[in-house]
């Protein structure tokens, strides 16, 4: 099975002393204590199995993340708009894809974030804490 590992990514993008230094700084950042081990252990496999029809199905079946919330109202909550969780959404998304074995609809991604142990740690719990603080 085809896969991409952190070693593959580092070999492609972390080739200079400057990028190596930035990478080492990212790993040493106290906000990355939980992030770095999970990201560094990640292996991408499922994305190599995805077909165009799979993406079309996700686009057709997914709900909008804001539901019926007016865009202007959603964007008026600056603390939410400017929120940056420790785990990047990309890390959470890739973990979700590998866990469920498919590109998720919004509903599946939300389910992952709220009910999977890694999803809760990466996005679900931090988002709940931020909402509680803001509201």
pLDDT band at 61 (very low <50, low <70, confident <90, very high): very high
Q: What percent of the chain has pLDDT over 70?
A: 100
Residues written for the chain: 135
Q: What pLDDT is attached to residue 133?
A: 92
Q: What pLDDT is attached to residue 33?
A: 92
**For 109-120, how does the pLDDT look when each residue is reduced to its tens digit (9 = 90+)?**
999 999 999 999
Q: Distance (Å, rounded) from C-alpha 48 to C-alpha 103?
A: 11
In 3D space, the residue among 33, 28, 36, 133 whose CA is nearest the CA of residue 83 turns out to be 133
Its sign, for the CA torsion 120, 124, 126, 131, is negative
Contact 98, 44 (CB under 8 A): yes
Longest dimension (CA), the chain: 48
Q: Distance (Å, rounded) from C-alpha 33 to C-alpha 102?
A: 28
Task: Indicate if the pLDDT at residue 66 is higher than 80.
Answer: no
Q: What pLDDT is attached to residue 76?
A: 86
Question: What is the mean pLDDT of the segment spanning 69-78?
Answer: 84
Secondary structure (3-state) at 81: helix
50: number of Cβ within 10 Å: 13
Q: Distance (Å, rounded) from C-alpha 62 to C-alpha 78?
A: 26
pLDDT band at 6 (very low <50, low <70, confident <90, very high): very high
């Amino acid at each position: 099975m085809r896969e991409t590992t952190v070693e593959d990514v580092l070999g492609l993008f972390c080739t200079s002393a400057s990028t190596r230094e930035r990478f080492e700084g990212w790993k040493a950042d106290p906000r990355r204590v939980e992030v770095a081990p999970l990201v560094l252990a990640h292996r991408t496999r499922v994305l190599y199995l995805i077909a165009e029809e799979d993406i079309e199905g996700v686009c057709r079946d997914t709900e909008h993340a804001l539901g019926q919330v007016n865009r202007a109202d959603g964007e008026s909550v600056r603390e939410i708009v400017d929120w940056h969780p420790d785990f990047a959404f990309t890390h959470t998304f890739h973990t979700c894809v590998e866990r469920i074995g498919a590109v998720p609809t919004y509903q599946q991604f939300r389910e992952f974030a709220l009910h999977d142990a890694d999803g809760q740690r990466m996005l679900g719990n931090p988002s709940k804490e931020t909402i509680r603080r803001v509201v």
